[in-house]
Amino acid sequence: MIELAPLVDAPPESTTDTKVVGHSVQRIDGWEKITGAARFADDLEFGPGLLHAAIVESPHAHARIVAIDTRAAEKLPGVVRVVSGKDFPYRFGLYMQDRHIFAQDRVRFVGEQVAAVIACDPKIAARAAALVEVEYELLPVVLDPVLATAPDSALLHPGLGAYPHVPWFFPRADSNIAHWRKIRKGSIDQGFREADVILEDTYRVPRYAHCAIEPHSMTGLFDASGRLTVWAASQSPFTQRHLFAQALAPLGLSHKDVRVIAPYVGGGFGGKAGVSCEILAAALATAVQGQPVKVMWSRAQEFYNTYQRQGVVAKVKLGVTRGGRITALEHQLYWDAGAYVEYGANVVNAVGLSATGPYRIDNVSIDSVCVYTNLPPGGPYRGFGYSEFFFGLESHITRAAHAVGMDPVAFRRLNVIREGDTLAYGARMNPNGLAEAIDRTAAAIGWGAREYSADPHKTIGKSLVLFWKAPAMPPNAASSAFLKFNEDASLNILISGMEIGQGLLTAMAQIASEILTVPVCKIRVETPDTDRNPYEWQTVASHVTWGCGNAVKNAATDARQQIFALVERACAIDGSSLYLEDETVKSRLRPGWALPLRDFVISGIQVPDNTFKGGPILGRGMFMPEFSSAVSDPETGQGGHPNVHYTTGAGGIVLEIDRQTGKTTVLKAALAVDVGKAINPDLVRGQITGGLLQGLATALYEDMRFDDQGRLLNPNFSDYKIPTALDIPGEVIPIIIETAQPDGPFGARGMGEHTMIPAAAMVANAIEDAVGVRLHSMPLTAEKIALA
Amino acid sequence: MKRVPIRFKLNGVERELEVQPADTLLEMLRDGLGIKSPKTGCDHGDCGTCTVFLDGRTARSCLVLAAEVDGCEIVTLEGIARNPSPLMRELARHNSFQCGFCAPGVVLSATELLRSNPHPTRLEIQHAIAGNLCRCTGYTPILEGIEAAIEAAAAERSLP
């Protein structure tokens, strides 16, 4: 297949000479949030007719449902309806349809929804849910992803072979292997023969929870006319609309009848992407037509019945020459993907494509294996699998450098991937600033200079690691935007990219402002309503600054073209001479002539015969990466172009360890990320500061603990600790690198997830540097260090 | 269950209400009175999103029963935002928040700190907001916003 160059619809505009883009303007949603005016899904009012649902959950990780008795619950005053699997025999799933709205004949994780009670009060609903009696017949519990691949393991999904799925998944029927992404490049045997040193080890990563502070909240209304509206805390309003319409099609719904309204989101991190518990609001609404029904997730449910970050057992084998060149990488990853993998299998796929890390390696063998287990469904979490595999890979890279007597930073400089190098799946690497990222990170942490603690019981260690990540998305994931002028030349921009805290609304306003010269304070960008706002695939994968940003830029450019065409027609000025400045149309041919936008963008331009030309200016923009393709050889992974580009960078850390207790203190953390172009540098730095702390917490102490029957032992903030204001590093140094992405808006590419990815390997390597202890399993707790 | 009549002051206005004995202050404010700045984050007193002022001190409204506030004065962010403080302006200027879900609680905790201690150290600020969990920001931009407000207030006081 011929490799197509990325399509660029216009020559890249200047990425340096910008007036708004590249400047740290204040967030356009800041004041709304600081005054408490911002409305989140749980804040919306639905009046006294609102009903509330409580979920009957499975107490078992794996069992057959023998009988469900709802009679006692139905008799409780205030109960409107009790439903279970038989009422909704519908499957759903983003990439593979392996889930039902409610469990059908069997349950596959503790906490799975078996039935629901709808009542006029949430407390009555909860009391009634406790009265639903479910009889179970226990089945063997499968928890270990490696053991689950054995031929004699109990099967979670005997129907796997018949599940509909995307063409780039390769499930193995009659096994627990839901997908197996293989990459074969060069000759792995030859690569290991060329090596002087071969290093092999296994790394383990547990499950983690997103812990957005806002729990999921969703309300559905199936009105008397048959229209279904869902208000949800959502990263994915259009994907949710699509999956609701698909799953509930047997009820006669079409997409036009389904509407998702997504207000501000109180933190996403992947946990509110795709469809998990949101489908309950859609389904339950159809059971009580005419009345809104609300499903509010508790903090405990947030932990055990949304998505979790998957655990992984990763076997890394690396071949290196004495001179420090990497000759071969064999990387086998067994993912504990949980009971349903409709989204999580694509995490596994993404890792399979990219588990070389940002290194040029000629001989590669990757097996990324998605394994069903009786734990809650795995799914997207900031970093989409990359944090997990980088723990092992970047630990291993440092160890390989030491094994051949090289400085780990020099070793990375030698092997780092460069623009044009061949990726593991055969396509070419995009422009990137990895070399600069290495240099600036090394300088920020004083690499090469050993530091000593003032406390004789403490030792200081340092490390520097690399990272990369590509958006994992279908090849035809699209973004679109409408842009409407108002009478005073202020703007309303309609998109369906979600504001999940990252600052998307502000960045989109800046892009439109740059092109149309309307100041950011005169631009409003609203969160979506799928009836009103145009299509966006999802706000995931660190792709909306790039994808939605391109759509907004195209919409603004479209509006500008309409403006110029109108002025040419109405004022008889050559359109090619026109330009915008300070909300005014000007012409290079007529110095001194100026037409303010507010004079005509709604009402048109009056011409000599006193008629008007033009009318409301409406910009329309769309973006889809037309060069991407997900289809490749299943045995080698060669032949497609599944990733649109990689965002790359480096992370460095200086930490202090108490040799007696093993307690780790982060003195300094630096993270350099090549964002192509920082649309708003302050918001980029905010992503780095926040993502790094989230990553450091997974490295140092966060940890989901399950008992041997698959029950989560710590589904609350008392037992699953997330960082407080007292747990921040001594210093965080955000470093912005700008190597333009040719097809990005003003050269920008995404960077939200990347800030978390290198954290675990940073800590692991610095621990070894400080105390000589190599840890192979996360989290890297004081206990493990002290015991080693 | 028998409803309990209570009287209290909410954001400067005297109110009378009958509440269920099991209702929390958070439920009363959000569901009964349409006061939405205190959020439901964990319902167990861990996250601090439900923070309100109760008789001048911050309290977690998910841990207070509505029936207990009889005779009390409650102030929420809605009450404070009518006259925005320099603290709020500096938090906005510093892009201190991302998703903003924790913002009401943080604003109230920081307001309480600055009332009793106009010149806190960074560690004192960290302690004051340590009960308000934020998953987005890494806290540093929030600390910088609060410190800027402290500096701005000090500069104002030093004016002749």
Q: What is the pLDDT of residues A623-668, one digit of tens each?
A: 999 999 999 999 999 999 999 999 999 999 999 999 999 999 999 9
Q: What is the pLDDT of residue A15?
A: 57
Look up residue A301 and give its amino acid. Q
Are A478 and B113 in contact, with CB atoms under 8 Å apart? no
Q: What is the pLDDT of residue A342?
A: 98
Query: Are A106 and A243 in a shared domain?
Result: yes
Q: Do A502 and B98 touch (CB under 8 A)?
A: yes
Residue A647: count of CB within 10 angstroms of its CB: 29
Interface of B with A in 34-93 (CB under 8 A): 34, 36-37, 39-44, 46-47, 49, 76-78, 81, 84, 88, 91-93
Could you tell me if residue A193 is inside a domain?
no
Q: Which of A45, A264, A299 is nearest residue B43 as measured by Cβ atoms?
A: A299
- The total number of residues written for chain A in this structure: 788
Q: Do B99 and A269 touch (CB under 8 A)?
A: no
Interface of B with A in 99-138 (CB under 8 A): 99-104, 107, 125-127, 129-138
- Mean residue pLDDT across chain B: 96
Q: Do B46 and A718 touch (CB under 8 A)?
A: yes
A136 touching B, CB under 8 A?
Answer: no
Q: How confident is the model at residue A6 (pLDDT cuts 50, 70, 90)?
A: very low
Q: Do A27 and B36 touch (CB under 8 A)?
A: no
Q: What are phi and psi of B141, to 5 degrees?
A: -60, -30
Query: Are A482 and A594 in a shared domain?
Result: yes
Query: Closest by alpha carbon to A54, among A73, A28, A41?
Result: A73
- A682 chain-B contacts, CB cut-off 8 A: 95
Q: How confident is the model at residue A4 (pLDDT cuts 50, 70, 90)?
A: very low
* Residue among B83, B90, B98 with most chain A CBs within 10 A, to mutate: B98
- B131 chain-A contacts, CB cut-off 8 A: 724
CB burial of residue B1 (10 Å; 0-12, 13-18, 19+): exposed
A-B contacts (CB, under 8 Å): 164
Digit-coded pLDDT (tens) for B61-116: 999 999 999 999 999 999 999 999 999 999 999 999 999 999 999 999 999 999 99
Residue with the two structure tokens 């029904």: A293
Could you tell me if residue A11 is inside a domain?
no
Query: Are A127 and A264 in a shared domain?
Result: yes
Digit-coded pLDDT (tens) for B7-19: 999 999 999 999 9
- A299 chain-B contacts, CB cut-off 8 A: 41-44, 46-47
Are A217 and A42 in contact, with CB atoms under 8 Å apart? yes
Could you tell me if residue A171 is inside a domain?
no
Whether the link from the prior residue into A779 is cis, omega within 30° of 0, is yes
Domains of chain B, by residue range, sit at 4-80, 84-157
Digit-coded pLDDT (tens) for A199-258: 999 999 999 999 999 999 999 999 999 999 999 999 999 999 999 999 999 999 999 999
CA dist., res. A712 & res. A716, Å (int): 10
Query: Are A448 and A596 in a shared domain?
Result: no
Structure tokens at B44: 């167990």
Residue range A156-185: mean pLDDT, rounded: 98
Digit-coded pLDDT (tens) for A108-142: 999 999 999 999 999 999 999 999 999 999 999 99
Q: How confident is the model at residue A14 (pLDDT cuts 50, 70, 90)?
A: low
* Residue among A27, A213, A382 with most chain B CBs within 10 A, to mutate: A213
Q: Over the range A591-601, which residues count as b (16 or more CB within 10 Å of their CB) and which as e?
A: eeeebebbbbb
Could you tell me if residue A302 is inside a domain?
no
Check: complex ipTM more than 0.95: yes
Give how far A725 is from chain B: nearest CA, Å: 5
Q: Do A728 and B126 touch (CB under 8 A)?
A: yes
- B134 chain-A contacts, CB cut-off 8 A: 213, 725
Domain total in chain A: 3
Could you tell me if residue A9 is inside a domain?
no
Interface of B with A in 139-158 (CB under 8 A): 139-143
Q: Do B100 and A29 touch (CB under 8 A)?
A: yes
Q: What is the pLDDT of residue A3?
A: 41
Are A170 and A180 in contact, with CB atoms under 8 Å apart? yes
- Roughly how many angstroms between the first and final C-alpha of chain A, as a whole number? 52
Query: Are A698 and A667 in a shared domain?
Result: yes
Could you tell me if residue A196 is inside a domain?
no
CA dist., res. A721 & res. A700, Å (int): 11
Interface of A with B in 200-259 (CB under 8 A): 210-215
A612: helix, coil or strand? strand
Q: Quick one: DSSP state of residue A641?
A: B
Query: Are A659 and A585 in a shared domain?
Result: no
Q: What is the pLDDT of residue A12?
A: 45
CA dist., res. A725 & res. B110, Å (int): 12
Q: What is the pLDDT of residue A5?
A: 38
- Among all residues of chain A, which has the CA nearest to that of B20? A123
* Residue among A28, A29, A34, A679 with most chain B CBs within 10 A, to mutate: A34
CA dist., res. A508 & res. A21, Å (int): 10
Could you tell me if residue A344 is inside a domain?
yes
CA dist., res. B70 & res. B15, Å (int): 10
Digit-coded pLDDT (tens) for A544-559: 999 999 999 999 999 9
Q: What is the pLDDT of residue A2?
A: 39
- Among all residues of chain B, which has the CA nearest to that of A504? B98
B97 touching A, CB under 8 A?
Answer: yes
Q: How confident is the model at residue B158 (pLDDT cuts 50, 70, 90)?
A: confident
- A718 chain-B contacts, CB cut-off 8 A: 44, 46
Residue with the two structure tokens 């450019």: A557
A224: helix, coil or strand? coil
A682 touching B, CB under 8 A?
Answer: yes
Query: Are A676 and A584 in a shared domain?
Result: no
Could you tell me if residue A147 is inside a domain?
no
Q: What is the pLDDT of residue B63?
A: 98
Q: Do B141 and A298 touch (CB under 8 A)?
A: no
Are A163 and A95 in contact, with CB atoms under 8 Å apart? no
Query: pLDDT at residue A7 above 80?
Result: no
- Mean residue pLDDT across chain A: 97
Q: Do A728 and B140 touch (CB under 8 A)?
A: yes
The domain made up of B4-80 has a fold known as: Ubiquitin-like (UB roll) (3.10.20)
Q: Above pLDDT 70, what percent of chain A?
A: 98
- B47 chain-A contacts, CB cut-off 8 A: 213, 299, 717
Q: Which of B36, B42, B137 is nearest residue A299 as measured by Cβ atoms?
A: B42
Residue A310: count of CB within 10 angstroms of its CB: 32
Q: What is the pLDDT of residue B157?
A: 82
Query: pLDDT at residue B1 above 90?
Result: no
The domain made up of B84-157 has a fold known as: DNA polymerase; domain 1 (1.10.150)
Radius of gyration of chain A (CA): 27
Give how far B107 is from chain A: nearest CA, Å: 7
Q: What is the pLDDT of residue B159?
A: 72
Residues 6+ apart with CB under 8 A from B122: B143, B147
- B138 chain-A contacts, CB cut-off 8 A: 686, 689-694, 728, 732
Query: pLDDT at residue A13 above 70?
Result: no
Q: What is the pLDDT of residue B36?
A: 98
Q: Which of A30, A37, A692 is nearest residue B97 as measured by Cβ atoms?
A: A30
C-alpha to C-alpha distances, A688 to A254, A368, A542, A695, nearest whole angstrom: 42, 28, 13, 10
User: Where are the extended beta strands (E) located within A420-521?
Assistant: 458-469, 479-485, 491-494
Structure tokens at A544: 């909306």
Give how far A31 is from chain B: nearest CA, Å: 6
Domain hosting residue A671, numbered range: 311-474+630-787
Query: Are A594 and A722 in a shared domain?
Result: no
Digit-coded pLDDT (tens) for A420-433: 999 999 999 999 99
- B66 chain-A contacts, CB cut-off 8 A: none
Digit-coded pLDDT (tens) for A676-712: 999 999 999 999 999 999 999 999 999 999 999 999 9
Q: What is the pLDDT of residue A10?
A: 41
Query: Are A637 and A699 in a shared domain?
Result: yes
- A500 chain-B contacts, CB cut-off 8 A: 99
**CATH number of the domain that A97 lies in?**
3.90.1170.50
Look up residue B116 and give its amino acid. S
Q: Quick one: DSSP state of residue A456?
A: T
Are A622 and A554 in contact, with CB atoms under 8 Å apart? yes
Q: Which of A607, A623, A639 is the last residue of a domain?
A: A623
Structure tokens at A641: 């172009």
Q: What is the pLDDT of residue A16?
A: 66
Q: Above pLDDT 90, what percent of chain B?
A: 94
Give how far A690 is from chain B: nearest CA, Å: 4
Q: What is the pLDDT of residue B105?
A: 98
Give how far B19 is from chain A: nearest CA, Å: 14
Query: Are A351 and A466 in a shared domain?
Result: yes
Query: Are A273 and A357 in a shared domain?
Result: no
